[in-house]
Amino acid sequence: MFTSSIFERAPIGMFDSGVGGLTVLRQVYQQLPNESVIYFGDTARLPYGIRSPAEILQFVREILNWMQQQQVKMVIMACNTSSALALDIVREEFKMPILGIILPGARAAVSCGKRIGVIATPATAKSNAYRRAIMEIDPHVQVWQISCPEFVPLVEQNRIDDPYTIEVARSYLEPLLEQDIDTLVYGCTHYPHLAPVLRSLLPSSVKLVDPAVHIVKACAHELDLQGVKNTHLPLPTRFAVSGCPQHFAQSSVQWLGYTPMVEVVHLNELGVRS
Ligand code: DGL
């Protein structure tokens, strides 16, 4: 049996398909500097946003099984697509607390404006998760969701400053600007990496909502509630990926400010709960 001090020191598990979740990790570094983190990037199988709901659920189950074996005290889904498609199901299947990113993002959006645009992966947009979450909180706001299939590959290929990326962003934002949105939600954790591009295309009056900020606030609250916030020094973040560790290390350095040590984990060899 764990004592509460061992629970305190246990890491938080965090996952995404790739480098998107680093936008959430950065928030953990800012808001919860004492927490140790295990970060998993399912880079062999990205992008998640064009996968079927069944595939996404299977991947999430595999990742959570692995996280459970690592004895994490809580899991942050640093991935909107997983939160939209799998959160409600896997919460019933696993004992550890699992935090999704959609609800904290929706709450923040509603406190910002009345004409809300959401940019998201095809799977998240199709799931309608943001519209549902926002309308449940405030049925009087208007929501427009845009599927942005090219963004994740462009971020993963580190083509942030490529003129092509600006053109793609312009075409995704156009229908939202026509609706005169006052708020734009990053409905995918990869998208805050595109902030300079997106900001340059939006009127300054449009507020940008980064759900990463708010899921980490929710995590801090949950750690307090459960009495397991770490009061000791954290361990260095442990990074694991399903694809090429060198590639992940190279692309992460610009977001992390240091070169991470990255290990490979082959999830499907671990067996999947059915
Ligand atoms: N960054 C993830 C999200 O927030 C997944 C993106 C993808 O792999 O398509 O949805």
User: Does residue 80 have its Cβ closer than 6 Å to ligand 1?
Assistant: yes
Please give the C-alpha separations between residue 81 and each of 15, 49, 52, 65, 123, in angstroms, as whole numbers.
11, 6, 10, 18, 6
Q: Which of 245, 250, 215, 257 is nearest to 75 (CA)?
A: 215
Nearest ligand 1 atom to the CA of 51 is: 9
pLDDT > 60? residue 271: no
* DSSP designation for 16: E
Nearest ligand 1 atom to the CA of 81 is: 10
Name the token pair of 204.
Answer: 């300054």
Name the token pair of 242.
Answer: 């399903």
What is the mean pLDDT of the segment spanning 123-134?
98
C-alpha 102 – ligand 1 centre gap (Å): 12
Q: Do 32 and 223 contact (CB within 8 A), yes or no? A: yes
User: Does residue 72 have its Cβ closer than 6 Å to ligand 1?
Assistant: no
Tell me the C-alpha distance between 14 and 78, whole Å.
6
Share of the chain above pLDDT 90, in %: 95
Average pLDDT value over all residues in the chain: 95
* Catalytic (active site) residue 79: yes
Q: How would you class 208 by CB atoms within 10 Å of its CB: exposed for 0-12, middle for 13-18, buried for 19 or more?
A: middle
Q: What is the pLDDT of residues 65-106, one digit of tens each?
A: 999 999 999 999 999 999 999 999 999 999 999 999 999 999
Q: How would you class 167 by CB atoms within 10 Å of its CB: exposed for 0-12, middle for 13-18, buried for 19 or more?
A: exposed
What is the mean pLDDT of the segment spanning 194-221?
98
C-alpha 261 – ligand 1 centre gap (Å): 22
Q: Do 239 and 39 contact (CB within 8 A), yes or no? A: yes
* Catalytic (active site) residue 188: yes
Give the pLDDT band (50/70/90) at residue 1: very low
Strand pairing category for 142-147 and 183-187 = unpaired
Q: Which of 210, 119, 226 is nearest to 168 (CA)?
A: 119
User: Does residue 20 have its Cβ closer than 6 Å to ligand 1?
Assistant: yes
User: Please, where in the chain does CATH 3.40.50.1860 lie?
Assistant: 5-100+213-269, 102-211
* Ligand 1 site-directed mutation target among 59, 99, 121, most atoms within 8 Å of CB: 121
CATH number of the domain at 5-100+213-269, out of 3.40.50.1860, 3.40.50.150, 1.25.40.10, 2.60.40.10? Answer: 3.40.50.1860
pLDDT at 179: 98
User: Does residue 46 have its Cβ closer than 6 Å to ligand 1?
Assistant: yes
Q: Which CATH architecture has domain 102-211?
A: 3-Layer(aba) Sandwich (3.40)
Tell me the C-alpha distance between 230 and 11, whole Å.
9
pLDDT > 90? residue 214: yes
Share of the chain above pLDDT 70, in %: 96
Q: What is the pLDDT of residues 157-173, one digit of tens each?
A: 999 999 999 999 999 99
Give the pLDDT band (50/70/90) at residue 3: low
